[in-house]
Amino acid sequence: MPNKKLPHSALNEKPGISSPEAISAAAVEHIQQFRKIQPSSNELFSGILAGNITALSRAITLVESTNTNHLAKANEVINACLPHANKSVRIGITGVPGVGKSTFIEAFGLHLTSLGKKVAVLAVDPSSTISHGSILGDKTRMEELVKDKNAYIRPSASGETLGGVARKTRETITLCEACGFDTILIETVGVGQSETAVHSMVDFFLLLKITGAGDDLQGIKRGIMEMADAIVINKADGDNIRKAQLAKLEFKRALHLFPAKKSGWIPTTSTCSSISHEGIAEVWETIHKFLELTKVNNYFFEKRKEQNQYWMLETINEQLKTNFYNNPEIQVSMNATKKAVQNDEISPFAAAQKLLETYFKK
Ligand SMILES: Nc1nc2c(ncn2[C@@H]2O[C@H](COP(=O)(O)OP(=O)(O)OP(=O)(O)O)[C@@H](O)[C@H]2O)c(=O)[nH]1
Ligand SMILES: [Mg+2]
């Protein structure tokens, strides 16, 4: 009923419109019921194993869900998938915004599917934790790859923390592999901590660069250079070819200054154009050589074992943190304690100790 006293209130309700008679109630009921039907974890698992993309997408949605009932079901599916995963190559692709990561993935992905590979494209996108899946727009940069039946593109998960988003991507890798995808490409924006997260879930880490635009040697973080297995200068087309060649030499020289890698691999530098596809096939050849070397010297397998361990610990850290901050008692005392710390009434360490004690005493 409309509120007569407050005709302009936001709480005012407009009388509803009854549905036209032409709509069959039975049909509506049928559609609603259909939407509610959730396949069991077993059904999802067998769907995934059979290469069914709908089952894969539904399982990923479970992994991404914050509903705790979904979490249990997601874990069942992931555990069932684990023995069928692992048979892939996981490639991380990073670079500053606008360097051409998505365009590169379109060209590179198409090259891989032309070689008979099945390619899954995932993303760890810290900005999407704010904008909720900004990489969605990326499908327009991957127009051809989207249509390729041997490719699967999943927009990045959204969540409150990078750790949470990264964990979901890590689990999505397992599901994609069990579904038969043998090459996993993970795009991340070259800002903040996301490269470290992606680096710890991939076998090969590729850094895309362009010349000029402040994206040269001076503007690069040492840590990222150290992680790279290959530096590829993109947009080496038109007037830019010579500059790209020079940049390649400069990076090559700079890479020499870094200590040798545990993998025994010497990072490579090359140029490519994601528009003309020049140099794209060579990137795969490089990765192929890397795989040959690291599988023979066992680094590939050791690194995956280490990464598994890392993700276990990372998940514990993440969940402890979430649990702590969501604790009702902590939430009640947090604001007052923050103020007390700001006003020097209590030291930050003593305050932290007090909150932790409140949390653990239960
Ligand atoms: N000339 C030329 N332009 C390119 C090349 N690769 C990408 N571009 C252009 O560069 C712009 C940015 O490309 P994106 O693929 O969206 O870059 P991105 O790194 O994915 O960007 P973010 O997702 O915003 O981080 C687009 O206008 C592309 O058409 C290339 O090899 N040559
Ligand atoms: Mg992009």
CB 255 within 8 A of CB 269: yes
Residue nearest to atom 22 of ligand 1 (CA): 97
Domain covering 35-77 assigned CATH 1.10.3470 in the classification: no
Tens of pLDDT along 142-177?
888 989 999 999 887 766 677 778 888 999 999 999
Topology agreement, domain 35-77 and domain 86-297: no
Tens of pLDDT along 9-47?
555 555 666 666 667 777 777 766 656 678 899 999 999
For ligand 1, whether the C-beta of 73 sits within 6 Å is no
Pairing of the two strands 183-189 and 268-271: unpaired
For ligand 1, whether the C-beta of 273 sits within 6 Å is yes
CATH architecture group of domain 86-297:
3-Layer(aba) Sandwich (3.40)
Residue nearest to atom 14 of ligand 1 (CA): 100
Tens of pLDDT along 268-322?
999 999 999 999 999 999 999 999 999 999 999 999 999 999 989 988 888 898 8
Sorted by sequence, the CB contacts under 8 Å of residue 106 that are 6+ apart come out as 141, 142, 143, 144, 145, 274
Which residue reads 């904008």 in tokens? 131
For ligand 1, whether the C-beta of 102 sits within 6 Å is yes
What is the distance between the alpha carbons of residues 245 and 183, in angstroms, rounded to a whole number? 29
- Mean pLDDT over 77-87 rounds to 92
Residue spans of the domains in the chain: they are 35-77, 86-297, 312-360
Q: How far is CA 157 from CA 47, 84, 221, 228, in A?
A: 22, 23, 26, 24
For ligand 1, whether the C-beta of 303 sits within 6 Å is no
Residue 211 sits at φ, ψ, to 5 deg, of: -85, 155
For ligand 1, whether the C-beta of 97 sits within 6 Å is yes
